[in-house]
Structure formats: structure tokens, C-alpha cells
Structure 1
Amino acid sequence: PNGTNINNGCGSTHIEGLQKLVKENKLAVGFAYDGDADRCLAVDENGEVVTGDVILYICGKFLKERGLLKNDTVVTTVMSNIGLYKAFDRAGIKYEQTAVGDKYVYANMQANGHCLGGEDSGHIIFSEHAVTGDGILTSLMLCQVMAETGKSLAELRKDLKIYPQLLVNVRVDDKELALNEPSVQQAGKEVEAALADTGRLLLRCSGTEPLVRVMVEAQDDETCNEMVYKVVDAIKASGHAVS
């Protein structure tokens, strides 16, 4: 270690090595953390990645079934997958959405008395135990669910279908003007109408860069690509896109 190579080729941002290790050694689970260990992703016994959305589903359902999920609600961000919300609906779990960032998740939890929230990136907050994401705590909570239910991670996640997602960032001269162009808004409405309840469009400005972010979730990759580029092409045609 030299102070600049934290999680070099490993950890939650390079999880491939852990996937290989778990499969080759027939392990029950593997955990991966980011550099400061406030994020946790897991790998199930089949070598499949267990993202933050999957962790929220597994832990939310476990707590709900035991009467421990306060307000029967899980706090997510706008980037959580539509498949998570559909699974929550089936499980009778309510949810709230915040802006991207675990600080917004916790603010909502604190204001409304919720006990579970997080992001797909692996920031998971269990407010009964901590006020921020804690990778070790998340690992322990997943182990508790597995131990008490007697089920593997693959079994615990089997009723959750994560929809394909495509995100395209378009660099523009003025992100607010580009986002609010009538032609761009119209393209967005047409995409939402076409997707109906089989997917979703998230169209927003970057908080830190001159970008408009176009994200679509749909039942297949082809639809994601078609719908994303319908909006991307509208942004480019508006004259605001820059190379």
C-alpha cells in the first residue's frame, strides 16, 4: 500500500476476483468493500453479484416478515431499479425515493422514522445500529438473514428481477436549458408512454458536471437502447450537445 492504490484490482469496484474465488471454492458468500468500507456488495454461492438494491430487498423483506421494518418502509434513491419497487409491491413493502447520496437517504430516514435505506452502490444504512453506511454491519446483517432463514443468498433473491438498465451522459452547454427544451421533454413523455409499467425513464441534470443524464430501465437491452437514444437524439438535435 502506498496511499494511492486502495482496492487496486479488488474490492467493490473490482469484484471479479471475489466472484471467481467464491465459485472455485464453493463458498456460501463473499463480501467486497470500497476503500473506506462504508459500501458493501456481496457475491452469492453461484458467483452472482448482490448489489445494494438486492441487499435492500433481502433485508427489507426479512425485517418486514418479523415486524421489525419501521413503517413497513425502505428508503431508496432515484437510481434504484424498477425491479426492486415491483418486488417491494409484491411483498407489501412501501418505499420512498431521495436524491442520489446516502446523506439524503439518512436525512429521510431520520425525518420519518424509517430504519432501513440505501443505494444500489452498496451504501446501506441500518439506523437502529448506525447513522451511515457500514460495510461490515451490512455483511453481518446479511449473514443474520441467511442464518435465521436457512436460505442461501440466491434463494433469498429469487423473487427479485432486476431490469436491464442503460445510462447515457450527454455533455451540453447549459444543462438546465437542454433538459427543459420542449423537444427533449416531448421525447421523454413519448418514452414514458411507450414503457408504461414495463420500465421507466430517469432524465436529470448532473449535480456537478455539465451533463444531462438519460437512464432507461426496461424488460430487455434492445428496448433500453432504443428508448435512451430517442431522448439522447432529441438533446443533440436541440443544439445544446457539445463534443
Structure 2
Amino acid sequence: MWGTDPQWKWVLEMKDSNIKEVFKKAFSEKNDVELMTYTGWAIWNRRNQIRFNEASCPLNQILALSKERKAEFQRLHLAAVTPQHRNHTRWKPPETGACKVNYDGAVFSQQGRAGLGVIIGNSDGAVMASMVQQIPLPTTVAQVEALVARRAVEFALEIGITKAIVEGDSETIVRELKEPTLSMALHGHLIQDVKCLSSSFVSLSFTHVRRQGNNATHALAKWAIKEPNLSVWMEDVPPDIRQIVMADSATV
């Protein structure tokens, strides 16, 4: 693994050294310590997944996954420390004749579960359908977001929608859905699934919205911890979520 990238070949020469010595050398030679940390964690995590007969990241994708995790952390850290001077974001209905499919995921680390939430609305701001599903917790947050994006598109097809705008608050997933190239991320196969499903629509586009514009779906995804089974509501959402949906539609 460490020999696949020239910058890490020196690690192979330290196979008899302890982790403290490896990091000391990395710092002294100004190597990419952050990437080395993410890579080491990914290798350790893969070993445990194989040990427990769980799905694991292919060894030849470890470096790409580690770079992606490092980049995602840096984006989130930059967003946290950079002052935001933006107008408040609200959910906006689609144009007449189309539907908007909002999706979001929630992570329940202590329970080892994740929640998927989808709400489909029309141009009048009315709910056409909603669904929630609880699943085993995937390896990364990006996988959760990719899984719910795929479930959102599947759900739209299941209820007969042919023109839709699919909207989520993960910039990474939306960007990958828009890109024509193949995603090499751990969740790349899920992105490809969504792109394949897209061909079943007359019109389908992907958009990003900040969390404030996805409040109802976020709340629905968190509500999934209460419901272990797949649940679907036609022209409605769970009672706990109605007030949030009404607040969004009040601005339409």
C-alpha cells in the first residue's frame, strides 16, 4: 500500500520502527502528516472490516479515499472558521410542472445506525410524498449522503414522477452527481447508480442547498431513529415534521 505512491516509500524503510518514530520523521521532513494519518486510519479500518466479514474499501482505493477525507475535513474546517455573510436560505418550490425531491441523511453513531429522509414537493409547496428509512451505519458520512440520494431518486420513480429537481445539502455528493466523470470515492458506485436511474426521467437535475433550505428533510432523517422500518406517507409527513414543512411552505 505505502509503496504505491512515491511520497510514502520511506515508510516501508521504517517497518521495524514504532508509530512515534514514523510521525517524528514525517514532521521533520515536512511530509503530508494529515494525509498519512487518514491513510493509516483507513488501512486499520479496512483490516477490522475484513476481520468481521464486512464490506471494505479495495486496497487500491485507500489513497484516493484518504485524500477525499482530508479534503472534506479541510472544507468543513474552512467553513467553520470563515465568517458567513449570507442571506438566510429558505426552501424554494420548483417551477410549474416539476417536483422537488429533497433528501438528507442522519447519523446515529451510538446505535450504529443511519437515517434516510426524503420529501417530495410540488410547485405550490405542497407535499406529494415523503419517506423515511433506517439502515446500518455505513463507513463514512459521504456514503450516507450518497445512499439517501439514490433512495430519493428511486422513491421519485416509484411514485411516478418524471420531471424533478433533486436537492441535497452535501456539496460533495451534488458535485459528484453533476460531474460526467466516474467517481473514484468509496461511495462512487452509489453515484453511478443515481446517474443510471436518471435516464428513466424525462427531466432530472441536481442542486445544492444549504442546511437552512433543507430543514424539513433533515428533521425527517433524524426522525428515522424512532422508526426501524421503511415508512412512506402520501401527501403528508410524520406529525412531528408538519410544523417545519408548514413554515417552509409559508414563504412560497
Normalising by the smaller structure, the TM-score range is: under 0.3
Provide the TM-score with structure 1 as the length reference. 0.27
TM-score by length of 2: 0.26
Structure with larger RCO (C-alpha < 8 A, sep 6+):
2
Higher helix proportion, which one?
2
> Rg larger in 1 or in 2?
2
